[in-house]
Every structure is written in structure tokens, then in C-alpha cells.
């Protein structure tokens, strides 16, 4: 420490992200946002001026993200894309092909592992490998931190696989120097397993409010005309097409909404990284709803997502109760759109009084809540400006409380 600031001279960090750093992949947003938050913390003086280096090991990196992160003052970023040749074959979730791909990625990192003062891993998957590395004295627990994006054993559907994964996961977490979580559910889940004495830090997700903000009405009208949505009531979902995200219940809920609102359309965007499921949903939607449901495989988070959210009337995130965060609702909220979610602890912690909450985990409750959001818009009772202000103060990448939190975490490494 130096006059209350953290000094990080000659500090070399390895960031291990076992997935593509793609602009349409949710986990990569957490990685990139933490780097931007670090940059802002340095600029605001929460971390003293210094020169430190960050090597990012991932499958591949989007040129958009490289440009986005190109002006990091006093921070040298080096992207090491070990698996760009297999990015198109990558699929979300726990599967054996990922075990092979992760092994290859970790192998590329190990060649220079001893030169890093601090290793920051995203998701628990690499911990399976690092558990053995500490026993070989290639790493020490003080040097090692994991950013938990969700508890794998909790998310795996198969009970036998879940039990096996849980044992490995628990042992791996026990030998970690610092555990970073983005939501209260994950924190409590880990505390129940390990006890409250472990070094568990809370760093909420954030949103870049320079990128995500309301557009002028004239621009929104042009966007809606361009997408043939001019006279439609547009319900938007952006994210992966997986069971935990609740897309099946959203499609089912649209049956009820479509009967109530003849001009309603559902826009589903995502699914590239779970492509077989995406194709199944698209076929199902076209067969049942025709052009009333529009299904797109992806959108560029930096360059295209803000436009897409702006043309929507209501946004939805029907994510099931989970140990994962729910970063998409921050993006929806920053643009000032009504947000329909289930009333889970993670969602309520973020949105507070600004969310539209479905009290039951089913399609009927979701449909009723979408109609409540519609009524709030029609009666001009939705507080868009208040919601935007709340998000900017508490969850923006320029939020002083988030920068201070990150600085405190780095101070204890």
C-alpha cells in the first residue's frame, strides 16, 4: 500500500479463461468487464500508477475485444489464443470434448507458469487441473484465485456425474487462495460447503454504460422499420439456449401473450454456442408461430446489442434458480427497458423495485408478468429514467464502489 493506494509495480498476472473471448459469449463479458474495471480503478487512483502485465489465455479472442481493450494505461495485455482452430467446434456446458480442449489450453499456460505472481482463473473447470498442480509445487494456493461463474455440480443434471464433479470441485476450491463470486447464491453455497472462514470475495457483475444506453426515438423508429417491427409489441430475449436459461418456458409463455396481444412478436437472440439446441428451438418456433417468433443465432455485444435492446418494448430473462449470475439484466436495465424475470435472490438483489417479477417458475406466471410490463408501459407507469440512474450508480464500470471492491480484492492477493 502507498498512501491508501495499491501499488502493483512489476506485477505479472495470468488470466485463464477456458472459453472463446467472443462478443456473443456470456462468460467472456465477465472477463472483459473485470479488465475494464481494473483500468478504471487505475485511472481513478484506487490502484497507484504502475506498470503491470496481464497474459490472457483463452480459446480465441474477438478483434472487437482487442480494440475495446487497446487503451489500457499502464497495463500491458497479451492475448494467447491457444485454440482458435477449434472455436467453431466449441459447445457450452459440461462435455468430454471440453475436457480435451481445456487440457490443451492449460498445457499452453503451464510452459511459463512460474513467472506469474498471480493466477486468476475464470470458472471452476480449470481447478480440476490446478488441484494436481499445487501438489506438484508448480503453484501455491496464495498465488491462485478463481472467479466462480457458477457451481458446476449444481448445474449438472445427471445425479451421478454431479456427485463425482462435486467432490473434485470441493477439493479444488479448498486449495484456492481467493474465491471470487458475482452473486449471493454462489457465496452462500460455497460457505455451506467450505465454511465461512474461507477467503470468499464478492465482486458483482457490471455494465459499460458508455455502450448501453437509450437511443433517440427517431433512431429507434428507423431500427424498428429496418427489422419490420414498426407496429409490433416486441419482447426480447438475448442469451444462450440452455435449460437453465428457461427459453422453453419463454416460448410456452408466448402462446398466452400472443392471444392477448395480436401485434406481439418474440425475438430470441443467441444459441450459437449450443447450436443443436438452437436449431431445435428455431424449427419448433417456425412450425408453431411462423413469423411471430424471430430466432437469430448471435449478436455482437459491443457493436450490435445496444441497438437490439433499444428496438424492444419489453425484455425477458427467464433464468431458472441457479448459482450463476444474470449479467444480461444489467444490460437491459442500462438501456431503460422493462425487465421480466423470476423472483430469485440473484435477480432481486440486482433489480430491486425495478424488476417485473414472476412469482412462480412456469409459463403462465411468466406470461402474466409480461402483460404487467405491457400495462405499465401503456399506462406510463414504468420508471425508465430512475432505473437507468440506479444502474449507473451501482453497477456501471465507472461505479466507485465497484472499483474500490476490486482494489480491495487485489490488495489481499
Could you tell me if 137 and 94 lie in one domain? yes
**Grid coordinates of 157:** 443434471
First to last CA, the chain: 12
Instruction: Assess if residue 3 is contained within a domain.
Output: no
Task: Specify the pLDDT at position 2.
Answer: 40
- pTM (2 d.p.): 0.90
Residues 151 and 241 in one domain: no
Q: Are residues 20 and 123 in the same domain?
A: yes
- CATH for 222: 3.40.50.2000
**388/167 Cα distance (integer angstroms):** 42
Does 221 lie in the same domain as 349?
Answer: yes
Query: Quick check: is 156 in a domain?
Result: yes
Please check whether residues 65 and 127 belong to one and the same domain: yes
Chain-centroid distance of CA 47 in Å reads 25
Considering the domain architecture, whether residues 192 and 62 belong to the same structural domain is answered as yes
What domain range is 361 assigned to? 217-393
Q: Which helix (H) or strand (E) holds 127?
A: helix 127-135
- 211 within a domain of the structure (yes/no): no
Structural domain contains residue 176: yes
Cell of 162: 454431479
The crossing angle, in degrees rounded to 10, of helices 184-194 and 159-174 is: 80
Whether residue 7 is contained in a domain is answered as: no
Q: Residue 199 domain-assigned?
A: yes
Kindly state whether residues 39 and 144 are assigned to the same domain: yes
Q: Kindly give the confidence (pLDDT) of every residue in the chain, 413 residues in length, as a single tens digit, with 9 standing for 90 and above.
A: 344 455 555 578 889 888 888 877 888 899 999 999 998 998 888 887 566 788 898 887 888 888 898 877 677 888 877 666 555 556 665 556 666 777 777 777 777 777 888 888 887 666 666 655 555 555 666 678 889 888 776 766 667 777 777 777 787 788 788 899 999 999 998 998 888 878 899 999 999 999 999 999 999 999 999 999 999 999 999 998 888 899 999 999 999 999 999 999 999 998 777 777 888 888 888 888 999 999 988 888 998 999 999 999 999 999 998 888 999 999 999 999 999 999 999 999 999 999 999 999 999 999 999 999 999 999 999 999 999 999 999 999 999 999 999 998 887 76
Q: Are residue 232 and residue 162 in the same domain, yes or no?
A: no
Within this chain, do residues 169 and 262 fall inside the same structural domain, yes or no? Answer: no
Is residue 6 one of the residues assigned to a domain?
A: no
Lay out the sheet containing 339-342: strands in order across.
293-296, 264-269, 233-238, 314-317, 339-342, 356-358
How many domains would you assign to the chain?
2
Q: Are residues 378 and 237 in the same domain?
A: yes
Other CB atoms within 10 Å distance of the CB of residue 77: 16
| Cell triple for 135 | 501438489
Look at residue 1 and tell me if it is in a domain: no
Q: Which CA distances in Å does 107 have to 57, 151, 241?
A: 11, 24, 30
In a shared domain, residues 48 and 169:
yes
Are residues 179 and 38 part of one domain? Answer: yes
Measure the CA–CA gap between 70 and 34, rounded to whole angstroms: 15
Amino acid at each position: 500500500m502507498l498512501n491508501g493506494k495499491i501499488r502493483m509495480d512489476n506485477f505479472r498476472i495470468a488470466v485463464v479463461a477456458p472459453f472463446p473471448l467472443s462478443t456473443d459469449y456470456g462468460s467472456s463479458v465477465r472477463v472483459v468487464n473485470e479488465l475494464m474495471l481494473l483500468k478504471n480503478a487505475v485511472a481513478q487512483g484506487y490502484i497507484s500508477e504502475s506498470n503491470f502485465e496481464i497474459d490472457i489465455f483463452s480459446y480465441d479472442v474477438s478483434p472487437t475485444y482487442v480494440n475495446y481493450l487497446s487503451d489500457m494505461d499502464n497495463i500491458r495485455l497479451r492475448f494467447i489464443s491457444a485454440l482458435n482452430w477449434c472455436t467453431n467446434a466449441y459447445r457450452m456446458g459440461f462435455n468430454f470434448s471440453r475436457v480435451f480442449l481445456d487440457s490443451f489450453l492449460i498445457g499452453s499456460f503451464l510452459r511459463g507458469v512460474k513467472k506469474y505472481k498471480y493466477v486468476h482463473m475464470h470458472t471452476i473447470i480449470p481447478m480440476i487441473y490446478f488441484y494436481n498442480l499445487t501438489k506438484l509445487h508448480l503453484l501455491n494456493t496464495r498465488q491462485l484465485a478463481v472467479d466462480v461463474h457458477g457451481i458446476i455440480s449444481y448445474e449438472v443434471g445427471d445425479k451421478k456425474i454431479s456427485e463425482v464433479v462435486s467432490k473434485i470441485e470441493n477439493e479444488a476450491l479448498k486449495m484456492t487462495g481467493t474465491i471470487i463470486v458475482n452473486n449471493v447464491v454462489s457465496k452462500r453455497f460455497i460457505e455451506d460447503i467450505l465454511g465461512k472462514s474461507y477467503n470468499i470475495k464478492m465482486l458483482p457483475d457490471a455494465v459499460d454504460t458508455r455502450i448501453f444506453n437509450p437511443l433517440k426515438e427517431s433512431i429507434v423508429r428507423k431500427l424498428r422499420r429496418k427489422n419490420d417491427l414498426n407496429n409490433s409489441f416486441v419482447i426480447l430475449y438475448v442469451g444462450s439456449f440452455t435449460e437453465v436459461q428457461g427459453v422453453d418456458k419463454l416460448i410456452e409463455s408466448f402462446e398466452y401473450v400472443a392471444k392477448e396481444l395480436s401485434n406481439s412478436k418474440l425475438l430470441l437472440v443467441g444459441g450459437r454456442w449450443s447450436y443443436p439446441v438452437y436449431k431445435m428451438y428455431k424449427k419448433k418456433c417456425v412450425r408453431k408461430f411462423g413469423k411471430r417468433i424471430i430466432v437469430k443465432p448471435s449478436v455482437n455485444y459491443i457493436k450490435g446489442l445496444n441497438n437490439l435492446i433499444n428496438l424492444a418494448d419489453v425484455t425477458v430473462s427467464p433464468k431458472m434458480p441457479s448459482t450463476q449470475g444474470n449479467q444480461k439484466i444489467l444490460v437491459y436495465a442500462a438501456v431503460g427497458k422493462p425487465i421480466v424475470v423470476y423472483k430469485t435472490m440473484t435477480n432481486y438483489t440486482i433489480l430491486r423495485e425495478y424488476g417485473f417479477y414472476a412469482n412462480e417458475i412456469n409459463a403462465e406466471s411468466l406470461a402474466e408478468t409480461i402483460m404487467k410490463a405491457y400495462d405499465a408501459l401503456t399506462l406510463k407507469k414504468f420508471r425508465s429514467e430512475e432505473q437507468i440512474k440506479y444502474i449507473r450508480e451501482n453497477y456501471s464500470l465507472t461505479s466507485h464502489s465497484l472499483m474500490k471492491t476490486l482494489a480491495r480484492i487485489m490488495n489481499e492477493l
